[in-house]
Structure 1
Amino acid sequence: MTHDPILFVGGSGIVGRQAARYLRDAHPEAPLLIGGRDLGRASAVAAELRNAEGVAVDLSAPDLGLGDRPVSALALFFKDDAIACLRFAQARGIPYLSISSGVHEIGPEVAAYMHAPNASAVVLGAEWLVGATTVPAMLAAREFSTIDSVRISAIIDDEDVGGAATDADMERLTRTMPAALTVEDGDYLWRTGDGAQTSVIALDGTRMPADVFSPYDVLVLANETRARDVEFRLAVGESSSRRRGEPLSTEIIVDLSGTDLAGQPLQVRQAVVHPGGQMPLTGLGVAMVMERLAGLQNQAVGVGLYFPFQLVDPETYQRRLEAIGGSILPLQG
């Protein structure tokens, strides 16, 4: 089957390159366009991938500077304040994924979708590391009949360099996020100031200072599990593996509490880890979502508004995670 190329806008950055490589490994024949403001840099990345081409992207142009070049789906790796890429995707009727907007920045993309709901599939991709929390959590949730609380503790090593776009996203989100969204006793609440200060326990048992944070995972997990308490905590510092004298890692500890299928109390704790840090997990999530959007894996996605976890099969995700060196570790309650 012949496919039009998949466009990665910002594909020459660290996350974009990672996602493109994972997509290439899974689908060697899928054509890719690596888009960026620097054509030379985009072309250099494309040359590493096979069946890929670098293109210059102009966000000020309605056609992004691509003319009538065909595109099957678009992934965006940085914050597009003018939502130019989304408007391009809607005009072309192609699926769109962005991974940078915070929960408090959701308005422009949602409004654009609401004004053209039949134009294309729109994926709000800023779940933590594009599904690395939500997909494994929902797999673990199958053991429960009811879930009362969900607590996520994410740890980024302070030496885990994410590239210019990722660093800009984190700086913007920590500066502009007015408060942190949580669910407490069934109510959606925003925590500020000292109320947003907390701590996490890393895999090696070290307690680390943390902030309450609110990626889309809070919305996803609250709606999917119907838990009355949902909280996401983020710590940045030395990871457990580096404290052991090993290379840095990323850690996402998922703690679910409720009742099992027989109605008995149940707590499940697990950790999603990768020795390469946050970028491989983000790249894998983007690659798997784009496979669905472009119709490379299973049936193509219809028009609608989605989160990544809705498009990713949990068992397949776990296999692909293990194939790239990551793992899901069971922990004691």
Structure 2
Amino acid sequence: MMSSTPILLVGGSGIVGRWAARFLRAAHPSVPLLIGGRDLVKAEQAAAEAGEAQGVALDLAADDLGLGERPVSAVAVLFTDERTAALRFAQARGVPHLSISPGINEMAPEVAAYIHRPQAAPVVLGTEWLVGATTVPTLEFAKAFGRVHDITIGALLDEQDAFGPAAEADLERQTKTMPAALARRNGRYVWRAGDEAKATFRAVDGTEMAAVAFSPYDVVGLANATGAPNVQFHLALGVSSTRRRGEPLSTEILIELTGEDPAGRPLRTRHAVVHPAGQMPLTGLGVAMVLERLLGLDGKPSTPAGLYFPYQLLDPTAYLARLAQIGGKVSTLP
């Protein structure tokens, strides 16, 4: 399917929005985009960079977001929409909605909006770590197991990585103002706070990093997808392995699985997902590919109404191929 109705990127003039627009434009040169934001000048600048795009000023206090009757084919929200205005707008128009900012204990407004209008449109709860860069590879690695007992994710953000204002606000809110992080332990969901939330993990180069418990949707998504009774996610902010050896910064995701192979023998694997340009290209890629799947831009039927996590929409083979294409690397670690 190739639509002449534009995709609306709310907050599209930010770093993630620019990456998402770049990847959408590269894969689908003629798909029109609306780059929406509070600052019309910035939105128009980002639209000019993307091509086949128009910048628009949005009003999240208005039912129509300030767009009047202008049609859109999908809505992606790239910052925290505390009013859920864009979701209600998308449901009213019957078009897909993706958001990537609300934390796991902020999901109620979006879930409630979906429950009240479940047939209106597909709604994607997109706050997985880097929108699929963690979940999709983890589920691929899990295929080697007959049973997964433990999933431990370590995400390393380089302290010099690019943070737009929205991303910085999200990280600040989710790591400091949310007092606890969700994990699964012996089949039970528990909240980790205080000393319980402190952790360490080894970076790609083996350096031990001080980390804190964090709970993007990966925790509940991977627990349900694999049945693993123990799932935890740790976040570290520091120096990435590449920068420690004198190269440019990178972002790292460390994925450790333990359990049994199909024959019942003990099995442990450890992998890394790394991108040399940091976190934002991976996030932008996930946004672009989820939008492609929602609208059927990948040549398959568009996604029906429903409530989804990104990994449920992303084809692993296609995702991993695009990841490699944009410079991401997946490696096996000892």
Determine the structure 2 residue equivalent to 1:47: 48
Q: Secondary structure at the match of 1:144?
A: coil
Q: Determine the structure 2 residue equivalent to 1:200.
A: 201
Query: After superposition, where does 1:141-152 map in structure 2 within 5 Å?
Result: 141-152=142-153
Separation (CA, whole Å) in 2 of partners of 1:154 and 1:179: 17
Give the structure 1 partner of residue 314 of structure 2. Answer: 312
Unpaired segments ≥5 residues, structure 2: none
Cα pair 2:34 2:53 within 8 Å, conserved: yes
| Maintained 8 Å contact 1:11/1:36 | yes
Partners of 1:12 and 1:131 lie apart in 2 by 22
Question: Could you say what secondary structure the match of 2:234 adopts?
Answer: strand
| 1:230 paired residue number | 231
The range that moved more, 166-175 or 14-23, is: 166-175
Contact residue 47 and residue 53 of structure 1 kept, 8 A:
yes
1 CA distance for matches of 2:175 and 2:135?
A: 21
Q: Which letter maps to 2:15? A: I
**For 1:116-135, what aligned pairs fall within 5 Å after superposition?**
116-135=117-136
The match for 2:331 is 329
Q: Which position in structure 2 is the counterpart of 1:21?
A: 22
1: CA distance, partners of 2:295 / 2:135: 22
Instruction: Tell me the C-alpha RMSD between the 2 structures.
Output: 0.9
> Which digits, 9 at most, give the CA deviation of each residue in 1:69-102, with x for residues without a partner?
1100000000011100000001001000000000
Secondary structure of the 2:146 match is strand
1: distance between equivalents of 2:205 and 2:143? 27
Asked if the contact 2:18–2:50 (Cα under 8 Å) also holds between the matched residues in 1, the reply is no
Q: Which amino acid aligns with 1:324?
A: I
In the TM superposition, what whole-angstrom CA distance separates every residue of 1:161-212 from its partner, at most 9, and x where no partner exists? Answer: 2211100111111233231111111110001100101111111111111001
Matching residue's letter, 1:316: A
Tell me the distance in 1 between the aligned counterparts of 2:301 and 2:140: 21
Q: Distance in 1 between matches of 2:88 and 2:189?
A: 31
User: Aligned letter for 1:174?
Assistant: T
Task: Count matched residues.
Answer: 332
**Aligned-partner SS, 1:296:** coil
Residue ranges of structure 1 left out of the alignment (5+ in a row): none
Letter in 2 for 1:233: H
C-alpha contact (below 8 Å) 2:11/2:36 kept by paired residues = yes
Q: Distance in 2 between matches of 1:200 and 1:222?
A: 20
Task: Give the drift of 1:263.
Answer: 2.3
- Gap change, CA 1:2 and 1:207, over 3 Å in 2: closer
Contact 1:250 1:275 in 2 (8 A): yes
Deviation, 1:279, is: 0.4
- Assess if the C-alpha contact under 8 Å between 1:7 and 1:35 holds in 2: yes
Distance 1:133 1:220 in 2: 11
Any idea what SS the aligned residue of 1:143 has? coil
Letter in 1 for 2:281: P
Match of 1:309, as an amino acid? Y
**2:320 partner letter:** Q
Kept in 2: contact 1:6–1:294 (CA 8 A): no
Identical pairs, percent? 61
CA contact (8 A) 2:3 2:73 kept: no
- Whether 1:209 aligns to 2:210 is yes
Q: TM-score under structure 2 normalisation?
A: 0.98
CA positional deviation for 1:262: 2.5
Between stretches 290-299 and 58-67, larger displacement belongs to 290-299
The residue aligned with 1:261 is 262
